[in-house]
Structure 1
Amino acid sequence: MTFNSGEPVPVASVGGTVTLVEGSTFCLSAGDGDVHEGGAHGLFFRDARLISRWELRLDGQPPQPLAVLSPEAFAARFVLRRPPQPGHADSTLLLVRERLVGDGMRETITLTNLGGEATVATLALHVDADFSGLFAVKEGRPRPGGADPVVAGSELLLRDRADGTHGVAVGASGDPQVRPGTLSWHVVVPGGGSWSTEIVVQPSTGNRRVQPQFHRGQQLEHSGPARKIQAWRQVSSLVTAEDAGLTQVLRRTESDLGALLIQDPTKAGNPFVAAGAPWFMTLFGRDSLLTAWMALPLDVRLALGTLETLARLQGSRTDPLTEEEPGRILHELRLGPDSDEVLGGNHYYGTVDATPLFVMLLAECWRWGADETGVRALLPAADAALAWIERHGDRDGDGFVEYRRATDRGLLNQGWKDSFDGVNDAAGRLATPPVALCEVQGYTYAAWLARAELAESFGDPGTAEDCRARAERLRQRFAEAFWLPDRGWYAVALDHRKQPVDALTSNAAHALWSGIALDEHAAVLVERLASAEMNSGFGLRTLSTGMAAYNPMSYHNGSVWPHDTAIAVAGLLRYRHLPGAVELAQDLAGGLLDAAEAFGGRLPELFCGFARADFGSPVPYPTSCSPQAWASAAPLLLVRAFLGLEPHVPRRTLTVTPRLPERWGKLTLTDLRLGPATVRVEAERESGKVHDLPDGWTLA
């Protein structure tokens, strides 16, 4: 969706971390633009850190930061000044750092003298590189002394000591003095005048330089990243809302998702979306699939590109080291130097939910108007995924999909709550694998129904009947095994003894989203989810406050994840006929959007699960990723769910049943592309209109 352009929005306080991202390139820096050694800061490219130090000094001192502005996710302006002279309150020398990332980095430094008298200034940029792998940086164990600096004319070259074929070149205008580790300038800035230098960081791999997505002297709007985001906006729908907060969040959503787009380097075609910065700037099965689902109103090609890329990487053999199995959908793709050490290879398959989600998304693409040829081409991959569910996912033949890692190097938990303590019972005891997760059974149920619909659409009624029967059997077995009648919620999982893991978690809400929940169970579950134990006031907690393992500052045991809350809202609206479901959905969505406004319009990966009454504002989780794909896409799922927007392009039907929160006011979707049709949807509260619906279509 394209949103009305606005003024650049602050992305961090001057004391916070600033993240810029464009595809597989991202930069983490302090609020003054400096990249400090010894932490997670750096310029990263293809899962390796190129620049580990990038510190600017003005007359030997750090400039004083004033503000950080970001017009897009891949660019920022750091506004600073020279510290005032002793005895003076003000400074007349302004310094602006304009940074752009995209297969490299460009930084333009401008000094502006606001005084009437010429001033002398000395600039020094201290640069270093360590070429550490992403995992090493994340875990706080970077390589020591990873670069050999060489001065080559006006450039500073840094080479990886461990692998001389990789490096980075730093060149600048303004006739700098270049020494190992430093570029410096001694300049005179006339009164009322300016001086600037342009610095370019260019990676090299295999002794060949990578061409950045920009040229020297090129204006930001003409750069490769800017052209990519412009193209993304041109093919996407336009959404406008009377609610200013919602509009701000959706504008940031559009920008961040566009910046997270990655083109498959092995084949030309539709893009996929990376999971999120800083640690997940790559293809993740679960994250990329759910993000593509949420973003379908933007452009169905994103979902199709995600499916095509995952199908090319689908498991074809059994390998315990990477947990690859025939038909299994990839969990994570990495390119960095430590991928083999951490994952056992560049491709890691240790996830239990990506495989059914793949089949679910394929049918949803079909409904939203994806090219039929592309959908048909992916049917063998969908059938291989269902075969994995039966042969490998269901380890003991009981009808449920469970996981157990193949070696001690794999992920202990392989659902979306994949931290080591992410699955526990009401007493806080960790579940012993094999573990059958609540939400995964729902995804599997929906996958069988998805394949049934595709089979019926493509003239295969026998397969359709078989898949529907499998789905119904699973639904009944799920109700019997997972529902806890004395508690009023679904067990988060079954353990190795097939005993319920009885904690109240947000996973149960995913059973609403997938549709596996029976009405009589869903009606009770709505009441449990509405309690103060689950509803923090800023979103749904991952774990109830009444459970022994609850910790609002934990990763998965009491925190709030925006994508998780959005899925819960979509699930509640699926059961909108039940008492309290719509009201709870509106309350959760309102809290989540309030949290987004508190975070400057950008929802983070997660935040702490303290009650709203405790602090009045959401409390950040220290290492939360931002931007993060499914958090960025979550507001789109809210919009779609509250609109009751359900197209079925092959059948030429469109369902719109709005239940919009009152605070949203009027909501309009323009240029919503549904296969060959382009329509406009207008809605307010419980009324909606669709314009430009072609002849022969049915509006429900």
Structure 2
Amino acid sequence: MTVSNIRPVAPKDEEPAKAAAQFFVPAAASLHERRPRTLKHGDTFALFDHSGDAINGPGSPEGLYHKDTRHLSHFYLTLNGGTRPILLSSALREDNATLTCDLANPDLFDADGGRVLRHDLVHIRRTRFLWKGAAFERLALFNYDEKPQRIAVELAFAADFSDLFEVRGAVRPQRGDFHPPVIGEDHVILGYRGRDGTVRQTTLRFEPAPQELCENQAIFTFELPPRTRRTILIEISCGKTDLKRDLRQFLLHSFRDARRALRNTSSRAAAMVSSNEILNQALRRCVADLCMLLTETEYGPYPYAGIPWFSTVFGRDALITALETLWIDPQIARGVLSYLAAHQAKDFDADADAEPGKILHEVRQGEMAVLGEVPFRHYYGSIDSTPLFVMLAGAYLERTNDVAFVGRIWPHIEAALEWIDRHGDRDGDGYVEYGRHSDQGLVNQGWKDSYDSVFHADGTLAQGPIALVEVQAYVYGAWEAAATMLDRLGNPARAMSLRARALALRERFDRDFFDEELGTYVLALDGAKRPCRVRSSNAGHALFTGLALPERAPGIVAALMEPASFSGWGIRTIAASEARYNPMSYHNGSIWPHDNALIAAGFARYGFQAEVARIFEGLLDASTDVDLRRLPELFCGFPRRPAQGPTFYPVACIPQAWSAASLLFLIQSSLGLSFDAQTRQIHFSDPVLPSFIDELLIRSLAVGNGKADIMLRRSGRKVLVDVLHRTGDVRVLSLV
């Protein structure tokens, strides 16, 4: 079947319930209320409560996951017949390497009601980390009493082997078969054969061997003399494990390797310290979360999108994260470009919304994806990943001067440019539109992919194919980036042609998308080329890539910063004046940190540094009210109120890669920081330090083979740039 014979399926306004229920994340329980403790390594992640438990129940996402399958759904520590310890504290290491939970015994009673142990005499410390598809725990008990104590430690466990989409709320008519548990002296093996034929296995191993062990519980009984410690070591492997190896030595070596891997990842990037300790804490958390979310693939580091729902490869998310972090760690961009080039669509596949040259949207490895129960095994239903891929390649070249790498992936860039012309512009009107090829695909395929995120002024849902405002901006950025790369690759004539096309798009876009009455660009054009006259954050992305005419910039900035759009914490996805505004929605009135960071970069491009500082301050202030100073995927769009923090979205991922990178990108925008890698120069153009930063030190900022330590200090209305140390041939210029 040829592409020309495929008619995209347009969403029908009369079917919102069906569309809304397609792949949604149910809000049966608030992740913010649970505030789960998160660990991740590679394709494995875990969510535990503050006591270190994973308690199974309706709406609970807790557990240990590997490749989109929950390998441990219940893990519950009790004492002396079912009494839960008292939580003292719970903390992640600053580098996210370990979770440590400090607990104490409650009052413990015998069968006759007599107290056998007064509270707070036995301290319990649980230290846990992930490494290579397994969770490891050291559980230590210390008796602070003056007399010996007899205490039983009970660990209840279960593995439901649920697909991540089941945990998210999908109901499956059929599941696979559970294997009978295999119980040894010190281990239990739980197994499941999915309907896809794959055997998935969870192995729990204990040292020392418990006194009692069955298919769902291990019980240890200790005689604890005064001032003595007893330790239990636990390995929970998502698969087979070597049952003969020394668990104590293996745990120690694995812990060392896990910390070393995180250190190696973080040491690759430039580092920052400011005069504001709150900002420093937030930045350290940003970097630590990014390092945790980075997954080493055969193509290099790749940032998985977020935990718990999106701990996998996403195209759009990774491309934007790589753009946000390009200035401090170009290797992330290289890994993203390499992976996406290798997985670029070559053929047409309606079920996967794939077309030749299109860049990946999402990869899933679970049972439901393998069986086609969800279309995301290798899914291409995003309209913006392809132009963003070209944009990132151009930005990477500018940042690194790595002409050889760009030359190697140039065939993929060419294929992406061909996709924009042949498949992206569905009706030949000069704009890139989307429309799914099957009723299993996403209805909306921009970054706001909720079923109701694109609509007209009266609230009516737009009918496709839909041309989003920000997608045209990314196409403009892609053509400009491709022209720059072609100049470097020795094809100036083709470069000139693409620049001419970009200029023509700029003029045509202004004519068709700018709305004088709104004072800004419309959200989209629908399938009938009717404008969706809605004030949205999407318009700010036209500033990000430079598509907006300079004379339009003041009005667009003003529209985005007026109270209907700017809540005090950040810019809402749509203004409070619009028909479908709901501050508690996913895309129709919420605040997304990455969206704000991209808009702020656009503000900086057009010289609106004061507004950049307001966005920066709003997001930083929001982070101070979040556990661990993590910026979530999104939060609600309610107005900022005195002495109150932001209102949290119940099922937002946290950490989320492009949110974690937002503050880093805001620093670049504030400083007007850019690079000329050919001449090994670092440029600061009209740098501004927001009011909450007096000094900022950037260490090991690299260009070419050189590095520089740079101090920026406020001096009245100016920022002084001082090079403290440099290695190699690198120059630092402050341009005013």
Tell me the TM-score range normalised by the shorter chain. Answer: over 0.9
3-state SS of 2:629 partner: coil
- What do residues 547-583 of structure 1 show as CA deviations (whole Å, max 9, x unaligned)? 111111110011111111111111111111xxxx222
Work out whether residues 51 and 130 of structure 1, in 8 Å CA contact, stay in contact via their aligned partners in 2: yes
Show the counterpart of 1:542.
573
Q: 1:137 to 1:216 in 2, by over 3 A?
A: farther
Q: 1:464 aligns with which of 484, 487, 495?
A: 495
Rounded Cα–Cα distance in structure 2 between residues aligned with 1:147 and 1:276 = 31
Show the counterpart of 2:619.
592
Work out whether residues 136 and 251 of structure 2, in 8 Å CA contact, stay in contact via their aligned partners in 1: no
Q: 1:78 aligns with which of 101, 104, 111?
A: 101
Which letter does structure 1 place at the counterpart of 2:153?
Answer: L
Q: 2:294 aligns with which of 244, 261, 276?
A: 261
Rounded Cα–Cα distance in structure 2 between residues aligned with 1:556 and 1:274 = 21
CA deviation after TM superposition for structure 1 residue 643, in Å: 1.0
2:221 pairs with 1:194: no
3-state SS of 2:390 partner: helix
3-state SS of 1:636 partner: helix
Show the counterpart of 1:169.
203
2:697 pairs with 1:654: no
Q: 1:231 aligns with which of 256, 264, 271?
A: 264
- What do residues 258-297 of structure 1 show as CA deviations (whole Å, max 9, x unaligned)? 1111122xx3x42111111111111111000100111113
Which letter does structure 1 place at the counterpart of 2:50?
Answer: G
Q: 1:415 to 1:42 in 2, by over 3 A?
A: same
Q: 2:521 aligns with which of 490, 496, 503?
A: 490
Q: 1:385 to 1:668 in 2, by over 3 A?
A: same
CA deviation after TM superposition for structure 1 residue 319, in Å: 0.5
3-state SS of 1:376 partner: helix
- What do residues 194-251 of structure 1 show as CA deviations (whole Å, max 9, x unaligned)? 11101001122xx787999x97464489533212111112222121111111111110
Show the counterpart of 2:56.
37
Show the counterpart of 2:215.
180
Q: 1:693 to 1:504 in 2, by over 3 A?
A: farther
Q: 1:626 to 1:216 in 2, by over 3 A?
A: farther
Show the counterpart of 1:423.
454
Show the counterpart of 2:333.
303
Equivalences for residues 171-570 of structure 1 within 5 A: 171-176=205-210, 177-204=212-239, 216=249, 218-219=251-252, 222-264=255-297, 267=298, 269-340=299-370, 341-344=372-375, 346-369=377-400, 371-570=402-601
Rounded Cα–Cα distance in structure 2 between residues aligned with 1:694 and 1:98 = 43
Please list every run of 5 or more consecutive structure 2 residues that lacks an aligned counterpart in the other structure: 1-30, 110-114
Show the counterpart of 1:3.
none
CA deviation after TM superposition for structure 1 residue 426, in Å: 2.6
Equivalences for residues 37-116 of structure 1 within 5 A: 37-38=56-57, 39-59=60-80, 60-71=82-93, 72-85=95-108, 90-102=119-131, 103-116=133-146
Which letter does structure 1 place at the counterpart of 2:238?
Answer: P
Rounded Cα–Cα distance in structure 1 between residues aligned with 2:480 and 2:198 = 53
Show the counterpart of 1:628.
656
Work out whether residues 22 and 74 of structure 1, in 8 Å CA contact, stay in contact via their aligned partners in 2: no
3-state SS of 1:669 partner: strand
Show the counterpart of 1:27.
46
Work out whether residues 706 and 729 of structure 2, in 8 Å CA contact, stay in contact via their aligned partners in 1: no
Which letter does structure 1 place at the counterpart of 2:398?
Answer: R
Rounded Cα–Cα distance in structure 2 between residues aligned with 1:452 and 1:679 = 30
CA deviation after TM superposition for structure 1 residue 70, in Å: 0.5
CA deviation after TM superposition for structure 1 residue 370, in Å: 5.2
Q: 1:612 aligns with which of 616, 619, 640?
A: 640
Which letter does structure 2 place at the counterpart of 1:47?
Answer: D
Rounded Cα–Cα distance in structure 2 between residues aligned with 1:582 and 1:89 = 60
Q: 1:549 to 1:592 in 2, by over 3 A?
A: same
CA deviation after TM superposition for structure 1 residue 615, in Å: 7.1
Rounded Cα–Cα distance in structure 2 between residues aligned with 1:42 and 1:696 = 48
3-state SS of 1:563 partner: helix
Q: 1:643 to 1:89 in 2, by over 3 A?
A: farther
Work out whether residues 703 and 730 of structure 2, in 8 Å CA contact, stay in contact via their aligned partners in 1: no
Which letter does structure 2 place at the counterpart of 1:55?
Answer: Y
- What do residues 89-121 of structure 1 show as CA deviations (whole Å, max 9, x unaligned)? 842111111111121101111111121111111
Work out whether residues 292 and 306 of structure 1, in 8 Å CA contact, stay in contact via their aligned partners in 2: yes
Q: 1:148 to 1:612 in 2, by over 3 A?
A: farther
Rounded Cα–Cα distance in structure 1 between residues aligned with 2:198 and 2:522 = 53
Rounded Cα–Cα distance in structure 2 between residues aligned with 1:149 and 1:552 = 48
Please list every run of 5 or more consecutive structure 1 residues that lacks an aligned counterpart in the other structure: 1-11
Work out whether residues 104 and 119 of structure 2, in 8 Å CA contact, stay in contact via their aligned partners in 1: no
Work out whether residues 215 and 223 of structure 1, in 8 Å CA contact, stay in contact via their aligned partners in 2: no
Rounded Cα–Cα distance in structure 2 between residues aligned with 1:234 and 1:629 = 18
3-state SS of 1:83 partner: coil
Rounded Cα–Cα distance in structure 2 between residues aligned with 1:224 and 1:421 = 46
Work out whether residues 228 and 258 of structure 1, in 8 Å CA contact, stay in contact via their aligned partners in 2: no
Rounded Cα–Cα distance in structure 2 between residues aligned with 1:334 and 1:574 = 37
Show the counterpart of 1:18.
37
3-state SS of 2:709 partner: strand
Which letter does structure 2 place at the counterpart of 1:153?
Answer: E
Q: TM-score, normalised by structure 2?
A: 0.89
Show the counterpart of 1:644.
672
Rounded Cα–Cα distance in structure 2 between residues aligned with 1:615 and 1:331 = 40
Rounded Cα–Cα distance in structure 2 between residues aligned with 1:630 and 1:416 = 12
Rounded Cα–Cα distance in structure 2 between residues aligned with 1:435 and 1:365 = 30
Q: 1:286 to 1:415 in 2, by over 3 A?
A: same
3-state SS of 1:679 partner: strand
3-state SS of 1:148 partner: coil
Rounded Cα–Cα distance in structure 2 between residues aligned with 1:120 and 1:542 = 58
Show the counterpart of 2:162.
132
Which letter does structure 2 place at the counterpart of 1:78?
Answer: C
Rounded Cα–Cα distance in structure 2 between residues aligned with 1:34 and 1:424 = 43
- What do residues 23-67 of structure 1 show as CA deviations (whole Å, max 9, x unaligned)? 221111222111112221110011111001111111121112121
Q: TM-score, normalised by structure 1?
A: 0.93
Rounded Cα–Cα distance in structure 2 between residues aligned with 1:24 and 1:569 = 33
Show the counterpart of 1:5.
none
Q: 2:190 aligns with which of 158, 179, 200?
A: 158
CA deviation after TM superposition for structure 1 residue 188, in Å: 1.2
Rounded Cα–Cα distance in structure 1 between residues aligned with 2:243 and 2:319 = 29
Show the counterpart of 1:677.
706
Rounded Cα–Cα distance in structure 2 between residues aligned with 1:34 and 1:126 = 10
Rounded Cα–Cα distance in structure 1 between residues aligned with 2:500 and 2:249 = 62
Rounded Cα–Cα distance in structure 1 between residues aligned with 2:288 and 2:243 = 25
Rounded Cα–Cα distance in structure 1 between residues aligned with 2:330 and 2:639 = 37
CA deviation after TM superposition for structure 1 residue 164, in Å: 6.9
Q: Percent identity?
A: 35
Which letter does structure 2 place at the counterpart of 1:68?
Answer: S
Rounded Cα–Cα distance in structure 2 between residues aligned with 1:561 and 1:224 = 35
Work out whether residues 456 and 533 of structure 2, in 8 Å CA contact, stay in contact via their aligned partners in 1: yes
CA RMSD in angstroms, aligned pairs only: 2.3
Work out whether residues 679 and 690 of structure 1, in 8 Å CA contact, stay in contact via their aligned partners in 2: no
